[in-house]
Chains A and B, each alone.
Chain A
Amino acid sequence: MAKTRMVTQFGMGTSIRSQNYTEAAARGIRDALWHNSLNAADAFGFPKEAMLIEVEIGVQHPDKVDSDALLGIFPYGQPSVRVVKGGLDVAKPDGSGVSVIANVAIIVSFDMAAAGAASTSSTPGQSAGGQS
């Protein structure tokens, strides 16, 4: 077993008027995903379903994010969502509320190893090399 990080994607999303933290997070996820076309699964000959997708979201009110609603954005892979206190809320000039900014990081990994070592490896493939 060796969960190996391949690519980290970054995004930012906002909810300007409705203070919808889930929508801000969803826009941040789309910003991160749709700036990139990730070919890592094909490049290594792995099925896309083997992609382990860790989603980390920073907003000022983590409890107001509906994590389950965010999972449906991902077209493939095995997503999981973690929400922490972060992002930024900006007070509106008329005092009627805040504009919400969500920061998003999406970490794509595979449980993989150099060929021949897959069943015995227990550490990330730092020294695996494999480019023979």
Chain B
Amino acid sequence: MSEQRIILEMGTGNDLYGMDYTKAACRAVHDALHHSSIVMFQSLGIDHHQMRVEVTIAVQEPDAVDTDAVARELPRGRAEVTVVQGGLNVHDEASGQTHVIASAAIAAMLDIDHDAWQLCQS
């Protein structure tokens, strides 16, 4: 039995006028989550609580992200949120506006015993 990454989901989100880094991060998480569905939990009868979810958020101001609020956006598994310097801010000198862009990487980790499953002979 060893922990395996079953999928890495990637997404991006922005907050255009509020400079709300948490909102941008949450939207990035939604974008990452909703491009896939890990149906193997139903197919194989695995409880999703066994899944550890590593969430990495990248924005230009990491300290401005509420990690608890981001963690609450993860509906399944046990989420751990880390924020790093990254993403992108797009600033307009003329208007003084800054658009905030966040990246999200979500790794789904699961203990899988290689000996417990095998391919069928065709």
Contact = CB atoms under 8 A, between A and B. Distances in A.
B113 A43 contact: no
Interface residues of B, number: 36
A5 B37 CA distance: 10
A110 B119 contact: yes
Contacts of A121: 120
Nearest to B35: A35
Given A7-B36, A39-B5, A43-B110, A119 B11 contact: no
A6 B4 contact: no
A118 B4 contact: no
Interface residues of A, number: 42
Interface string A49-75: 010000000000000000000000000
B118 A40 contact: no
Given A7-B36, A36-B9, A39-B8, A126 B116 contact: no
B66 to A, nearest CB: 25
Given A39-B6, A131-B50, A7 B39 contact: yes
B115 to A, nearest CB: 6
Interface stretch (A8-16, A79-87, A94-102): A8-16
A36 B35 contact: yes
Most chain A CB atoms below 10 A, which of B8, B31, B39, B118: B118
Interface string A1-28: 1101111111100000000000000000
Across the A-B interface, give the 7 residue pairs with the lowest CB-CB distance, nearest first: A43-B4, A35-B35, A45-B114, A37-B8, A130-B116, A6-B40, A8-B37
27 contacts: A2-B120, A5-B40, A5-B43, A7-B7, A7-B37, A8-B37, A8-B39, A10-B34, A10-B35, A10-B36, A32-B36, A35-B9, A36-B36, A39-B5, A39-B8, A40-B7, A43-B4, A46-B119, A50-B119, A112-B120, A114-B117, A118-B118, A126-B42, A127-B45, A129-B45, A130-B113, A131-B50
Interface of A: 1-2, 4-11, 31-32, 35-40, 42-46, 50, 110-115, 118-119, 121, 124-132
